[in-house]
Chains A and B, each alone.
Chain A
Amino acid sequence: MRNKKFYYVIVPLIILIVWAIFSNLKVISPLFLPTPQAVFLEIINLFASGTILPDIFYTLYRAFLGFIVACLIGIPLGLLMGYSDSIYYSLEFVVEFFRSIPATALFPLFLLFFGIGDQSKIALTAWTAGLVLIINAMYGVHLGKELRIKAAKTMRMSGFILFQKIIFPEALPQIFSGMRISISLSLIIVVVTEMFIGTNFGLGHRIIDAQLVYRISEMYATIFIAGILGFLINKGFIFAEKRVVHWKGK
């Protein structure tokens, strides 16, 4: 294999070149596809003027707050479901059912309960991310090695000690995977809900606004920024994962 970096950049580079050719030759109307240089300049402009900063701030604030609420509720609940069979059987159907409902289909309902402000957006984010975390924390416990528990039982471990010393650390890698999925999901939900109602700031709001008034390069630029944010958050999580759950897969 050649240099890793070579493979890393080659496909993005091809996409960029194809995009540049098509848009500059106006094969596709600039009304749908602006040139990469126009989008790039727009990104620079959005940052230089600072107008994008409150949007980034509000989107991240909502996504993180929703995510944190999801962690605080979803992880303990999932662990309980994994640990206790009676809790598992009581809640399995409900969790699986709610998980099957497309999150965005519930947004009108959340608007009804939580109003059109930040609360409904954060609540829907927490709901969606929370369900993912419940499932992952639960599987984390279920996928734990039986022999490890048997070994602990020969040392007469039980109850909270068994949970604290064996079951919880064993579930951690899976919990981390769940966190990584749900933080990306949080960003998606927040951006979608921002497109509807009740805010003057947020990346979703800017994207839909730009589209409505045909500021197409601004729309592309904002989509791009949202993508980069998601990418960086994911990378950050992978970085943390390697350090916190260093034993994963070993």
Chain B
Amino acid sequence: MAMIEVENLSKEFYQPKNKIKTLKVLDNISFQVKDGEFVAFFGPNGCGKTTMLNVLSGIDKATSGNILINKKSPEKSKVGFVFQNYNESMLPWRTIAGNIGLALEIQGADKKKKKQTVEHLLKKVGLFEHKDKYFYELSGGMKQLTAICRAFAYEPELLIMDEPFSSLDYSTSRKMGLELLNIWKETKKTTLFVSHDIDEAIFLADKVIVLSQRPAKVKSIVEVKLPRPRKLDVLSSKEFFEIRNKILRLFEYEK
């Protein structure tokens, strides 16, 4: 059995002010994710990706359909969430180490374990020397790395990332991708990564789930059989372009 099973997931929003009674955002979505798999969701802006993540992480309910994460409902599973807006999802009153430590504090970890975990992650991403800086003193890329470290420190069953790099510039977001894979390969956490950057989606993932415009349906599931560990030069390989074209062709007739 797969680690994540999503079956016929639909979500509608009730709109009290609108004549059309409900707004359909997710339409009959089904997919499976294996343990340790890195899955990217690629789809147009506003197609309902964020809604899907809210439902998958258990902070919103589906209208119909089933979701099982390790055979449990989403509310009962442990999810590490990285948001696009790091400034509003992290804590500016805490230091870098303090922000990552939060994930351990709330689970009642003792001080020694907290320090070890935090320092290990910070060394891994090269932020150790900045550990005592306040969150607002960092650059955008460093802030998002801190957010990623917090999600890993939480030791989740499932990692969910909602366009984490889309407010960073091109080269920073590529670097972040490498850093992410670098921490990810250590634990091989099952990861769902939402992106509207096709290169990023292919570069990171084992498979790309392509979503349609709203209401989001699964258009196609594309396997990415590129070797790991991935290096940036994979971006210019023939295999990469083949996958890229295959995905882009899916959107050709959608207007």
B105-A165 in contact (CB<8A): yes
Cα–Cα, bound, A55→B85 (Å): 54
Cα–Cα, bound, A244→B103 (Å): 23
Cα–Cα, bound, A250→B92 (Å): 8
> Inside 8 A of A166's CB, which chain B residues have their CB?
91
Identify which of residues 110-157 in chain A touch chain B, using a CB-to-CB cut-off of 8 Å.
145, 147-148, 150-151, 153-157
Partner among A151, A161, A169 whose Cβ is within 8 Å of the Cβ of B93:
A169
Partner among A148, A153, A246, A250 whose Cβ is within 8 Å of the Cβ of B91:
A148
> Inside 8 A of A151's CB, which chain B residues have their CB?
81, 83, 89-90
**B38 on the A face (CB < 8 A):** no
> Inside 8 A of B80's CB, which chain A residues have their CB?
154-155
Question: CB-CB contacts of B79-98 with A at 8 A, as 1s and 0s?
Answer: 11101010011111100000
- Number of A-B contacts defined by CB within 8 Å: 52
Tell me, rounded to whole Å, the shortest Cβ–Cβ distance linking B200 to chain A.
22
**A7 on the B face (CB < 8 A):** no
A147-B154 in contact (CB<8A): no
> Inside 8 A of A156's CB, which chain B residues have their CB?
78, 106
> Inside 8 A of A161's CB, which chain B residues have their CB?
106
Task: For the complex, count residues of B whose C-beta is within 8 A of A.
Answer: 24
> Inside 8 A of B149's CB, which chain A residues have their CB?
none
B154-A155 in contact (CB<8A): yes
Question: CB-CB contacts of B221-246 with A at 8 A, as 1s and 0s?
Answer: 00000000000000000000000000
Question: CB-CB contacts of A147-180 with B at 8 A, as 1s and 0s?
Answer: 1101101111100010001100100100000000
A247-B106 in contact (CB<8A): no
Q: How large is the interface on A (under 10, 10 to 19, 20 to 34, 35 or more residues)?
A: 10 to 19
A247-B83 in contact (CB<8A): no
Tell me, rounded to whole Å, the shortest Cβ–Cβ distance linking A50 to chain B.
45
> Inside 8 A of A150's CB, which chain B residues have their CB?
59, 83, 89
Cα–Cα, bound, A161→B78 (Å): 17
> Inside 8 A of A169's CB, which chain B residues have their CB?
91, 93
A147-B88 in contact (CB<8A): yes
Cα–Cα, bound, A169→B93 (Å): 7
> Inside 8 A of B83's CB, which chain A residues have their CB?
147, 150-151
Partner among B59, B78, B88, B135 whose Cβ is within 8 Å of the Cβ of A145:
B88
Tell me, rounded to whole Å, the shortest Cβ–Cβ distance linking B120 to chain A.
19
Tell me, rounded to whole Å, the shortest Cβ–Cβ distance linking B64 to chain A.
23
Q: Select the residue from B59, B90, B103, B135 with max chain A CB neighbours within 10 A.
A: B59
> Inside 8 A of A147's CB, which chain B residues have their CB?
83, 85, 88-89
Tell me, rounded to whole Å, the shortest Cβ–Cβ distance linking B30 to chain A.
23
> Inside 8 A of A245's CB, which chain B residues have their CB?
93
Cα–Cα, bound, A161→B103 (Å): 12
**B134 on the A face (CB < 8 A):** yes
Tell me, rounded to whole Å, the shortest Cβ–Cβ distance linking B210 to chain A.
25
B103-A155 in contact (CB<8A): yes
Q: Select the residue from A150, A155, A156, A165 with max chain B CB neighbours within 10 A.
A: A155
**B67 on the A face (CB < 8 A):** no
Select from chain A the residue with minimum beta-carbon distance to B75: A156
Identify which of residues 208-250 in chain A touch chain B, using a CB-to-CB cut-off of 8 Å.
245-247, 250
Tell me, rounded to whole Å, the shortest Cβ–Cβ distance linking A150 to chain B.
6
Select from chain B the residue with minimum beta-carbon distance to A146: B88
> Inside 8 A of A153's CB, which chain B residues have their CB?
59
Question: CB-CB contacts of B125-159 with A at 8 A, as 1s and 0s?
Answer: 00000000011100000000000000000100000
> Inside 8 A of B134's CB, which chain A residues have their CB?
246-247
Binding site for B on A (CB under 8 A): 145, 147-148, 150-151, 153-157, 161, 165-166, 169, 172, 245-247, 250
Binding site for A on B (CB under 8 A): 57-59, 78-81, 83, 85, 88-93, 102-103, 105-106, 134-136, 154, 160
* 14 further contact pairs, Cβ within 8 A, besides A156-B106, A169-B93, A172-B93: A148-B88, A148-B91, A151-B81, A151-B83, A151-B89, A151-B90, A154-B57, A154-B81, A154-B160, A155-B80, A155-B102, A165-B102, A250-B92, A250-B136
